[in-house]
Amino acid sequence: MFELRDVTFAYPGQAPVFERFSWRGERGEVWAVLGPSGCGKSTLLMLLAGLLHPQAGAIVIDDERIDRPRPRTGLILQEYGLLPWATVQENVRLGLRIRRFYGPDGRHVPRDERLDSAEAQARIDHWLARLGIADIAAKYPGQISGGQRQRAAIARTLVLDPDLVLMDEPFSALDAPTREGLQALTLALCEEAGVTVVLVTHNIEEAAFVGQKVLLLEKPPNQKTNTLENTHTAHVEYRLSTAYQKACSTLRIQIDER
pLDDT of residue 92: 96
Residue pair 80/141 in contact by the 8 Å Cβ criterion: yes
pLDDT value, residue 30 = 92
Pairing assessment for the beta strands 2-9 and 73-77 based on DSSP bridges = unpaired
Entry pTM? 0.91
CATH architecture of 1-67+163-171+195-258: 3-Layer(aba) Sandwich (3.40)
Q: What is the pLDDT of residue 13?
A: 92
Q: Strands across the sheet with 226-229, in order?
A: 73-77, 164-168, 196-200, 30-34, 213-216, 226-229
Q: How confident is the model at residue 11, as a pLDDT?
A: 96
Segments of the chain assigned to CATH 3.40.50.300: 1-67+163-171+195-258, 73-161
Residuewise pLDDT in 10s, the chain (258 residues): 899 999 999 999 999 999 999 999 999 899 999 988 889 999 999 999 999 999 999 999 999 999 899 999 999 987 778 999 999 999 999 999 888 887 777 777 788 877 888 999 999 999 999 999 999 999 999 999 988 998 999 999 999 999 999 999 888 777 888 888 888 888 888 888 889 999 999 889 999 998 989 999 999 999 999 998 887 766 777 888 888 888 888 888 887 766
Strands 164-168 and 196-200: parallel
pLDDT recorded at residue 233: 65
Please give the pLDDT value at position 234: 65
Assess contact for 18 and 40: CB atoms under 8 A: yes
Round to the nearest angstrom and report the end-to-end CA distance of the chain.
28
How far is the C-alpha of 214 from the C-alpha of 41, rounded, in Å? 12
Please report, to the nearest 10 degrees, the dihedral formed by the alpha carbons of residues 191, 194, 199, 203 taken in order.
Answer: 10
Q: Which superfamily is assigned to 73-161 in CATH?
A: P-loop containing nucleotide triphosphate hydrolases (3.40.50.300)
Between the alpha carbon of residue 195 and those of residues 20, 54, 73, 165, 198, the distances in Å are 28, 25, 10, 7, 10
Count of residues in the chain: 258
Residues 94 and 87: their CA atoms lie apart, in Å, by 10
